[in-house]
Structure 1
Amino acid sequence: MKQKVLVTGGAGYIGSHTVLELLNNNYSVVVVDNLSNSSREGLRRVEQITQKTIDFEEIDIRDGDALSRVFERYDIQSVLHFAGHKSVGESVAKPLQYYDNNFTGTLSLCEVMQRFNVYELIFSSSATVYGATTQCPISESAPIGATTNPYGSSKYMVERMLMDLAKSDPQWRIATLRYFNPVGAHPSGQLGEDPNGVPNNLVPFVSQVAVGKLSEVKVFGNDYNTADGTGVRDYIHVVDLALGHIAALQYMEEHQGFEAFNLGTGRGHSVLNIISAFEKYSGQKVPFRIVERRSGDIAECFANPNKAKDILNWSAERDLKEMMEDTWRWQSKNPSGYS
C-alpha cells in the first residue's frame, strides 16, 4: 500500500471521483469534509465500486484543532485540497463567505500541515485566476490576478499564498491545478454531480431540465463575441480531471517548489453547442431561453494543456459524447441525486 493521502472536500463532486482513482491506484485515503455541499453517500458508492474502505472525518478545515486531531490519528504524507465554495454567481452575492471558506480554510490547512511536517499539497484551483484574458488558448505563462469575481479572486489569493510558502521553505512541494469546466460522471452511473438546490453550472442544469426537475435552461447572454453569441468554455470530463490529480501527485513526490498546471482539453464549446450535444447523446429535449448576461462572466475561456502533457504525461482523453452520455446516465439513474 502506498502513502496515506488526505483529501479535503473528498465527498464532493470532483473530490469523490478523485478518491475513487486514488483507491484504484492503491493509495490509502482519509477524507475530511463538512458535508455542506456534498453527501456521505457518494463515498459509500466509491467504496462499493472499488471494494476498498475510506477513512472519513466530518470536520471543517477552518477548525484547526479538529484538523490537527486528524493529522495525529493518521500517517498523512500528502494532501489533495478540494474543500471550498465554487459558484461564481454566489460569490458575487456573498464575497465574505468565499474569502473565509476558500482562503481562510487553506490558510488553516497549511498551518496544520506545517506543524505536522507534511509538505506535499495538490491544490484545486481554477481557470478563473486568469480573469478576463484576451489570450485563448490560455497557457500557464498568462498573467493571473485580473479576476472578475470573488470566487476567482479567492483562488488567486490562495495561489499567491502557496507561491510565497514554497519560496519560504524548500521542503514544500505544491502543485496548483487550474481546472477549466468539469462535467460528466463516473461511467457506472453511480457517482456524479449532486448540487444543493438549483445547479450553478451549465451541464447539471441541462441534465436536471432533461430529467424533468427544472423547466428550462437559462442561457446568460447571446451577444458575446463568439461564433453563436453564447459563452465558450473548455469542458473536461471529471474522470480525466481526477486522473490529472494522480499524475500531479506522482510528479510532486519527486519535485520541490510550486508548479501550476492547466487541466483542460484545449477545445472550446459554446453554451448552445453543449445543449445541442446533450440532446443528441441523451435523446432528451432541453428547452432553453436567452436571458441577460451574468455579472462576472467572460466570453471565452479554453486551455492550452501542453504543460500538463509534457511534464505530467497527462492529457484529457474523453470527448464531448462521453461527457454527455455519462452525465445523462448518472442523472437518469439518480433523478434526485444521492438523496
Structure 2
Amino acid sequence: MKILVTGGAGYIASHTNLELLNAGYDVIAIDNLSNSCMESITRVEKLTNKKISFYEADILDKDRMTKIFQEEKIDAVIHFAGLKAVGESCSIPLKYYKNNLSGTITLLEVMQEFGVKNLVFSSSATVYGEPKSVPVTEEFPLSATNPYGRTKLIIEDMLRDLYQSDSSWNIAILRYFNPIGAHESGEIGEDPNGIPNNLVPYVAKVAAGVLEQINVFGDDYDTPDGTGIRDYIHVVDLALGHIKAIDKLNQKPGLVTYNLGTGVGYSVFDIIRNYEKACNIKLPYVVTDRRPGDIPITYADPTKAFKELGWKAERGIEKMCEDSYRWQSKNPNGYRK
C-alpha cells in the first residue's frame, strides 16, 4: 500500500515515515524544503534500510501534484504540509491562509481527480480555542485564537463539507496536542529554521549553549505555577497514531476525529525542570510578556483514540526530554553539517 506524505521531510512526518516503513507501507514523500531538510529522508532510509520516493514539490503547484499522482499509484495521503508557528501566524496571517488553505484545496482537488479518497489530516488542539474546562474531548466547541489555528479549523470544516457532499471519502482528522522529543537513535528530530518558535526546541538550544536563555512567556496565568500548561506528546507516539489512523481508514469509517495527546498537562517550568534532569545542566530563563494567541491551559482526553484506534501514548515527559536532548547533542546544527 502506497502512502503519500505531504510535508514529508518535516519533524512529525519524518518520524511517521519511519513507522510507516517499519509497518510495511511504501512511502512517497513530497516537500518544498522551505522549513525542512532532505537529510531527514536520507536518515529514515538508513534507519529502516528501505527507500522513500521523494519529490521536491510544493502542494500549491497543481501541475506538479498531478504529475506525481500520475507517476505513483497512491492509496492514501497523510497531509502534514503547512506553516505551523502560532506567533508567526499573528505577524503574517495572509501567508498562512494562502499556504495552508490554498495548498490543501489543491491537494484535495488532485486527490479527487485521481479517485484517491483516503486522507489523514494533521490538525491541532488549537481548534479548541480557549477551552472552558479540561481535559478536552473531541465534542468540545471549536474556535481559534490565532490565524494558524484558524487555518486548521477551516480545513477541518472543508473536510466535513467534502465528506457531506461525497460519503465515499474516508477521512481521519487527528488533533495533536504538543509533539516533542525525537527518535531514540538521535538520528532524526526537530530542526526548525532559525530561532525556534516552540518551547522544547528552544530549551534544547539553550541546553546546547546555542541560545543564551529560555524566554518564559508569562508567569501570571491562572495555573499552579503561573505558566501555561500543555499536553506534551512524544513524537514517536504521535507517529504511531498515524499508523493506527491508516489502519482505521482501511475499515472505511467515513469521517472520524481523534485527539492525540497523553491526557496529562505540564507547565513551562515542568518542562524546564525535566530538561535540566535530562541534560544535567541548570538552564537560565527570563520571564517576559505573554505571547498573543497563547491560552492558559489545555490537555487532551485521549479516550476515544484508545477505544476506536487501540492507540495510547506510552512515553512520559522524562523520555521526551531525554530523547530531545540526545538529538540536540548529536546534532547541534540540526541536519545541517
Q: TM-score, normalised by structure 1?
A: 0.98
Structure 1 stretches (4+) deviating beyond 3 angstroms? none
In structure 2, what is the equivalent of residue 14 of structure 1? 12
Q: 1:213 aligns with which of 210, 215, 219?
A: 210
Name the Cα RMSD after superposition: 0.6
State the shift of 1:258 in Å: 1.2
Structure 2 CA distance for aligned equivalents of residues 211 and 284 of structure 1: 10
Q: 1:269 aligns with which of 246, 250, 266?
A: 266
Alignment of 1:107-118 (within 5 A): 107-118=105-116
In structure 2, what is the equivalent of residue 316 of structure 1? 313
Task: Please state if 1:186 is matched with 2:192.
Answer: no
Structure 2 CA distance for aligned equivalents of residues 96 and 156 of structure 1: 16
Structure 1 CA distance for aligned equivalents of residues 126 and 53 of structure 2: 32
Structure 2 CA distance for aligned equivalents of residues 264 and 153 of structure 1: 20
Structure 2 CA distance for aligned equivalents of residues 286 and 166 of structure 1: 48
In structure 1, what is the equivalent of residue 30 of structure 2? 32
CA contact (8 A) 1:138 1:304 kept: yes
State the shift of 1:281 in Å: 1.8
Aligned with 2:174: secondary structure?
strand
Structure 2 CA distance for aligned equivalents of residues 282 and 136 of structure 1: 31
Cα deviation digits, residues 114-155 of structure 1 (max 9, x gap): 0000000000000000001112100000011x2100000000
Q: Partner amino acid for 1:300?
A: I
Q: Partner amino acid for 2:45?
A: E
Alignment of 1:328-339 (within 5 A): 328-339=325-336
Structure 1 CA distance for aligned equivalents of residues 56 and 173 of structure 2: 25
Structure 1 CA distance for aligned equivalents of residues 287 and 19 of structure 2: 38
Aligned with 2:328: secondary structure?
helix
Task: Please state if 1:167 is matched with 2:184.
Answer: no
Query: Is 130-139 or 156-165 further displaced after alignment?
Result: 130-139
Structure 2 CA distance for aligned equivalents of residues 54 and 323 of structure 1: 26
Task: Please state if 1:176 is matched with 2:173.
Answer: yes
In structure 1, what is the equivalent of residue 80 of structure 2? 82
Q: 2:61 aligns with which of 63, 67, 71?
A: 63
Structure 2: state its 5+ residue gaps: none
Task: Please state if 1:52 is matched with 2:64.
Answer: no
Q: Partner amino acid for 1:4?
A: K
Structure 2 CA distance for aligned equivalents of residues 163 and 284 of structure 1: 47
Aligned with 2:168: secondary structure?
coil
In structure 2, what is the equivalent of residue 251 of structure 1? 248
Structure 2 CA distance for aligned equivalents of residues 253 and 92 of structure 1: 38
State the shift of 1:255 in Å: 2.2
Q: 1:122 aligns with which of 112, 115, 120?
A: 120
Query: Is 184-193 or 275-284 further displaced after alignment?
Result: 275-284
In percent, how many aligned pairs have the same letter?
56
Count of aligned positions: 336
Q: Partner amino acid for 1:247?
A: K
CA contact (8 A) 1:331 1:337 kept: yes
In structure 2, what is the equivalent of residue 300 of structure 1? 297
CA contact (8 A) 1:10 1:31 kept: yes
CA contact (8 A) 1:228 1:270 kept: yes
CA contact (8 A) 1:170 1:256 kept: no
Aligned with 1:167: secondary structure?
helix
Q: TM-score, normalised by structure 2?
A: 0.99
State the shift of 1:20 in Å: 0.4
Structure 1 CA distance for aligned equivalents of residues 334 and 193 of structure 2: 10
Aligned with 1:7: secondary structure?
strand
Structure 1 CA distance for aligned equivalents of residues 133 and 248 of structure 2: 28
Aligned with 2:103: secondary structure?
helix
Cα deviation digits, residues 24-73 of structure 1 (max 9, x gap): 00000100000000000001000000000000000000111100000000
Task: Please state if 1:4 is matched with 2:2.
Answer: yes
Aligned with 1:118: secondary structure?
coil
Q: Partner amino acid for 2:283?
A: V
Cα deviation digits, residues 293-318 of structure 1 (max 9, x gap): 00000000100000000000000000
State the shift of 1:80 in Å: 0.3
Q: Partner amino acid for 1:19?
A: N
Structure 1 CA distance for aligned equivalents of residues 189 and 168 of structure 2: 36
Structure 1: state its 5+ residue gaps: none
In structure 1, what is the equivalent of residue 277 of structure 2? 280
Structure 1 CA distance for aligned equivalents of residues 280 and 72 of structure 2: 47
